[in-house]
Chain A
C-alpha cells in the first residue's frame, strides 16, 4: 500500500516533537506522522465470504494505516455494483490490524450499494481507503476485566479491542449476539486473542435482554467488570447502560451514522447526545469526529 498523492506523504520527521517520551505506544506512533490521515491505495489480499451474509476483507496497509487503534475506522471508496454508484465514501470500522503482515482487515455485512460494491473486490485490486479516522476506545489504565457486548456486525468494531485489552493485562469477556449460531463470527479469533467467548442467539432463545442481563450479572459476580463496551444494538445499549449504572462501571459504545466527509467538516453524521453525562438537554455531535466511540452515559438510545 502506498499514499496516493505526494502531497499526502509521510511527514518530515524533523517536525515531530521528541519531548513527549512518556506517551503511550499508539500515541507515539501517531506523533511520528505530521499527517496521520492518508488517502491509502491498498492492495487487496483477500475478500472472502465468512457466512451467508458477511465478508472478510484483508488489504495491505501503509505505516499510516497500521497506526489505526481499536474503534477507529477508514472511509472507503466503494466500487460501483450493478448500476448502483456510491458517490460518497462509506465508513468501515477496523476489524483487525495485523502489524506482522502489514495488513488491515474489515468484516462487513453485504447489504447496501457500498458494501455490495466492496464485495466485488478481488485479490490484487486496489481499495482507496482514507484513514485511520475517528476517536477509538479509551480503555482505562489498570482495567482488569473488560466486557465486549456485540450484536451482529457490531462485533467487527469491538473485535480489535480484545487483543488490545489483553495486551494491557486485562481479562476480556466477549458476549456475541446473533440471529442463529451460523452467524456467530470470530469466536476463534477472539479466543486466540485471549478472550472468554459466549455466544447468545435468537434461535436458541438466549439473546433476549433478560437472559443477557442475568448472564452479565453472573459473570460480574465472579469477576467484576471495570470497563464495558458495546456496538450494534439499541437493545443491548439500553441493557448495558442500566447494568453499568447499577454497578458504577465506566463504558463506551461505538456508533454508526451515514457520513459525508469523515473529517469533521460537513456535519452530516450527527446524532443527539446528552450535553453532559447527567444532563437532560441534548446536543448534536459528529459521529465521525467526536466519535465514533462515545461514553455510555452521554449516548441516548434510538
Chain B
C-alpha cells in the first residue's frame, strides 16, 4: 500500500496530481471520476465578465501548442453561484485561480472568494499589471510580492503563486512570493511565443502572441521548477509538459511536491487518473511506501576527479 498523499502548506491532497488551470472543466466529469484527483484547479477568473481574445486562438507544433485565449471569464458572481457548487460535490480540494489588473483588485477578488468550499487560491500573475505599463505582475518580484500579500491579508485563504517562465528572474519572483506568505509556488505557465502562416502571411493566432505549452516545454519548465525548489522552503508544484507518470516523477525528483497536468488533458482526457495509477505502480515496483519521499530525491552524478582517476 503506497501512501500517495502530499501536503501543500495547510492543504492535504490524496495524491499529487491535479489539472493545470485553464486545461480542465466540468466536461471532464463526463469522462472520469473527478474524485480521483489530488485537487481541482479551475480556470482563471477575473471579477468582471471578459470575452477574451478573438479567434483563431490555437496553433499547433509537432509536440506543443500555441494558445492565445486571453482569460475569458464569466466573472466571480457566476463562479460562486455555479462553479463552486458544481465542484463541491467532489472530494478533492478546490483551488480557485484568479487574475486582476491591479494589486488591490487581486486582494478584493481573493476576499470575495473566501468561502469554505475553496481550499486555496492560485494567483495567476502572468497577466499584465495595468498600473505598471502592462508589464506582467509575475515578471516583477515586488509586484508578485504585493499581489500575494494583498490576497493573504484580504482573504485569509492559502495562496499559491503561479510563476511565469517569461520572467528572467523567476527564482527571485518565487522567493518574493514566499516572503509575502505564499504557501506554495506553482512553476510554471505558458512561454510567450508566436507563429506566422507562410501561405497567408498572417499570425497563426489572432492576438499575434500566445503561450507555448505541451510536451516540448518540459525540459525548460523542469529546470525552472528545480531552481525554485532549491531556492524556497515552501512546496513547489511542477507544471509544464507533463504527459505521463514518468514526467510527473521527474518533477518530484527535481524537488516538487505535486504536479499539474495541462495541455496533455486535451490530447488524452483520461491522462490524470492514468498518471495516478502509474505513479502508484511505480512506487510499488520500486518499494517506495510514500510518494512524498520522491520529492527532491534526485541524486547527483558522482564528482569526477581526473587526477584521482588518472592515478588508478
> Out of B62, B72, B274, which one reaches A87, CB within 8 Å?
B62
Give how many A residues have a beta carbon under 8 Å from the other chain's beta carbons. Answer: 36
- Interface assignment of A189: CB less than 8 Å from any CB of chain B: no
> Out of B25, B67, B265, B277, which one reaches A268, CB within 8 Å?
B67
| The stretch of B30-38, B105-113, B172-180 that contacts the partner chain | B30-38
> Out of A35, A87, A257, which one reaches B31, CB within 8 Å?
A35
- Interface assignment of B24: CB less than 8 Å from any CB of chain A: yes
Using known A-B contacts A87-B64, A267-B52, determine if residue A39 contacts B270 with beta carbons closer than 8 Å. yes
A144 to chain B, nearest CB (A): 34
- Interface assignment of B57: CB less than 8 Å from any CB of chain A: yes
B29 closest partner in A (C-beta): A35
A2 to chain B, nearest CB (A): 13
A155 and B206 alpha carbons, distance in the complex (Å): 29
Report chain A residues within 8 Å CB of B43: 265, 267
- Interface assignment of A27: CB less than 8 Å from any CB of chain B: no
Q: Assess the A89–B58 pair: CB atoms within 8 A.
A: no
Q: Which of A67-108 contact B (CB under 8 A)?
A: 77, 85-89
Report chain A residues within 8 Å CB of B55: 257-258, 268-271, 284
- Do most interface residues of chain B lie in helix, strand or loop, or is the interface mixed? loop
A183 and B248 alpha carbons, distance in the complex (Å): 49
A224 to chain B, nearest CB (A): 37
B37-61 to A contact mask, C-beta < 8 Å, 1/0:
0000001000000011001111011
> Out of A5, A88, A269, A271, which one reaches B270, CB within 8 Å?
A5
A259-288 to B contact mask, C-beta < 8 Å, 1/0:
111111111111100000000000110000
- Do most interface residues of chain A lie in helix, strand or loop, or is the interface mixed? loop
Report chain A residues within 8 Å CB of B33: 7, 35
Q: Assess the B31–A8 pair: CB atoms within 8 A.
A: yes
Using known A-B contacts A86-B60, A258-B58, determine if residue A284 contacts B30 with beta carbons closer than 8 Å. no
A261 closest partner in B (C-beta): B266
Q: Assess the A284–B277 pair: CB atoms within 8 A.
A: no
B69 to chain A, nearest CB (A): 5
- Interface assignment of A38: CB less than 8 Å from any CB of chain B: yes
A275 to chain B, nearest CB (A): 11
- Interface assignment of A37: CB less than 8 Å from any CB of chain B: yes
> Out of A260, A263, A283, which one reaches B51, CB within 8 Å?
A283
- Interface assignment of B63: CB less than 8 Å from any CB of chain A: yes
- Interface assignment of A164: CB less than 8 Å from any CB of chain B: no
A288 closest partner in B (C-beta): B27
Report chain B residues within 8 Å CB of A265: 22-25, 27-28, 43, 265-266
Q: Assess the A88–B52 pair: CB atoms within 8 A.
A: no
Q: Assess the A88–B60 pair: CB atoms within 8 A.
A: yes
Q: Assess the B27–A260 pair: CB atoms within 8 A.
A: no
Report chain A residues within 8 Å CB of B299: none
Report chain A residues within 8 Å CB of B22: 265-267
Q: Assess the B31–A284 pair: CB atoms within 8 A.
A: no
Using known A-B contacts A35-B31, A263-B28, determine if residue A4 contacts B270 with beta carbons closer than 8 Å. yes
Q: Assess the B69–A268 pair: CB atoms within 8 A.
A: yes
A168 to chain B, nearest CB (A): 26
- Interface assignment of A231: CB less than 8 Å from any CB of chain B: no
- Interface assignment of A232: CB less than 8 Å from any CB of chain B: no
B65-80 to A contact mask, C-beta < 8 Å, 1/0:
1010100100000000
A180 and B235 alpha carbons, distance in the complex (Å): 64
- Interface assignment of B311: CB less than 8 Å from any CB of chain A: no
Using known A-B contacts A5-B270, A37-B31, A260-B67, determine if residue A87 contacts B52 with beta carbons closer than 8 Å. no
Report chain A residues within 8 Å CB of B265: 261, 265
Q: Which of B253-305 contact A (CB under 8 A)?
A: 265-270, 273-274, 277
A127-141 to B contact mask, C-beta < 8 Å, 1/0:
000100100000000
Q: Assess the B27–A264 pair: CB atoms within 8 A.
A: yes
- Interface assignment of B26: CB less than 8 Å from any CB of chain A: yes
A111 to chain B, nearest CB (A): 13
Q: Assess the A8–B32 pair: CB atoms within 8 A.
A: yes
B98 to chain A, nearest CB (A): 17
A39 and B69 alpha carbons, distance in the complex (Å): 26
- Interface assignment of B214: CB less than 8 Å from any CB of chain A: yes
- Interface assignment of A243: CB less than 8 Å from any CB of chain B: no
Report chain B residues within 8 Å CB of A283: 51
B27 closest partner in A (C-beta): A263
Report chain B residues within 8 Å CB of A289: 25, 27
Report chain B residues within 8 Å CB of A257: 55
Using known A-B contacts A87-B214, A267-B52, A270-B52, determine if residue A35 contacts B266 with beta carbons closer than 8 Å. no
- Interface assignment of A154: CB less than 8 Å from any CB of chain B: no
B244 to chain A, nearest CB (A): 13
B51 closest partner in A (C-beta): A284
Report chain A residues within 8 Å CB of B23: 261, 265-266
**Can you give 28 A-B contacts (C-beta < 8 A)?**
A6-B277, A7-B36, A8-B270, A35-B30, A36-B30, A37-B31, A39-B31, A77-B267, A85-B63, A87-B60, A88-B266, A130-B31, A130-B269, A258-B55, A258-B58, A261-B25, A261-B265, A263-B25, A265-B266, A266-B22, A266-B67, A267-B22, A268-B55, A268-B58, A269-B55, A271-B55, A284-B55, A289-B27
Query: B residues near A, CB below 8 A?
Result: 22-28, 30-33, 36, 43, 51-52, 55-58, 60-65, 67, 69, 72, 214, 265-270, 273-274, 277
Query: A residues near B, CB below 8 A?
Result: 4-8, 35-39, 77, 85-89, 130, 133, 257-271, 283-284, 289
* 5 residue pairs, one from A and one from B, having the closest CB atoms: A263-B27, A265-B25, A268-B58, A7-B273, A261-B266
